[in-house]
Amino acid sequence: MNPALPAALAAALDAALTGVARKPLAAAARKLSEGYRQGQTSRAVVSPEDACAYAVARMPATYAACSAVFSRLMMAMPDLAPRTLLDVGAGTGAASWAAVTAWPQMESLTMLDHNPALRALARKLAQAGPPGLASAEILGGDLALLDMKAGLVVASYVLAELPEEKAAGVAAELWRWTDAALVLVEPGTPQGFARIRAARAALIAAGAHVAAPCTHDDECPMARSVGESRSDQNQSDWCHFSQRLPRSRDHMLMKGASVPFEDERYAYVAVTREPAARGARILAPVLETKPGLTFKLCDETGLRAQFVAARDKDEYRRVRKRGWGDLF
């Protein structure tokens, strides 16, 4: 999937910015980013300008991360064809846009968010989307009060706004509303991974199968917390991935950036009612040297390094194009 915002969304966002002065918008975006870094939540988004600042500064990255995750889920579950979507903590609708791009047959979408400013902008943007999105139901309220089912349920960058100890319970609750697949995406930080890890364990206990990134439903072989054990070779490691995305002029302005792209680090788990295809997942950038390629892999046997020699021509050709996040 293309990590760039779909043209209709980019145009709708441009239209929403008509007449909005960029200097205060950039200041609002900076304040928001700073707040997120210090653990604040999206409750800091109050005005329509704040919502625009979120959409310009963060939506391209959360859209790109969701697109990458949905691609992985599609590869693991090629027959998955959800027709209903529940986007929990939808914000301005990044995950919904990525979902209708991944599964164009999606007919019925519901976005839920307790923030009125983000909901208002989500509605405005969705009207520029394909029919399912343009007619999406956009509901206010707390995710704890959810009472509806959908083929695909997604919560993108939402658990980060809840205390870590709530991640497992919320994930199990969302699973109850899931007919086919549940996707959780979080920042690719140790804290984001900790929430994903807790959610994953709770979901497996509730009978879910992990479709991606893990290729098994066993205990996660990563050290329990970063720095937990000095003797553990994985102590400074956590499961996360990276997606490069283009930055528009406004996006660069909001970020004070000098390059027209950024790399979004994210952690995720996608679970399904049906078991998915198996294999091994590549957990880090591939190390390329003259004698061959070294892959860091995770599968049901745990974490391991796999070397493929350049002289092993068939195998080398088979895996040469595989990268961080792919199945090996």
Ligand X SMILES: C[S@@+](CC[C@H](N)C(=O)[O-])C[C@H]1O[C@@H](n2cnc3c(N)ncnc32)[C@H](O)[C@@H]1O
For ligand X, the binding residue among 13, 25, 57, 113 (CB under 6 A) is 113
> Nearer Cβ to ligand X, position 121 or 282?
121
Least distance in angstroms from the C-beta of 164 to ligand X? 14
For ligand X, the binding residue among 26, 49, 62, 67 (CB under 6 A) is 62
> Nearer Cβ to ligand X, position 244 or 317?
244
For ligand X, the binding residue among 67, 71, 115, 272 (CB under 6 A) is 115
> Which of 89-97, 230-238, 241-249, 287-295 is the region at the interface with ligand X (rule: CB under 6 A)?
89-97
Closest residue to ligand X: CB criterion: 91
- Whether the CB-CB separation of 26 and 135 falls below 8 Å is answered with no
**CB within 8 A of 144, min separation 6: which ones?**
170, 173
- Element holding 201 (H helix, E strand): helix 190-205
Give the span between the Cα atoms of 25 and 255, in whole angstroms: 11
Closest to 114 in 3D by CA, of 95, 82, 91, 131 = 91
Backbone Cα Rg of the chain: 20
Strand spans (E) along the chain: 84-88, 108-113, 137-140, 150-156, 178-187, 209-212, 241-246, 261-272, 281-282, 287-289, 292-299, 302-309
Least distance in angstroms from the C-beta of 188 to ligand X? 13
| Residue 95 contacts ligand X per CB under 6 A | yes
Give the span between the Cα atoms of 218 and 90, in whole angstroms: 30
Task: Kindly write out the interface string for residues 23-52 of this chain, putting x where it contacts ligand X by CB under 6 A and - elsewhere.
Answer: -------------------x----------
For ligand X, the binding residue among 56, 69, 138, 143 (CB under 6 A) is 143
For ligand X, the binding residue among 22, 31, 114, 273 (CB under 6 A) is 114
φ, ψ of residue 218 to 5 degrees: the values are: -80, 180
- Contacting positions for ligand X (CB under 6 A): 42, 58-59, 62, 89-91, 94-95, 112-115, 118, 142-143, 156-158, 161
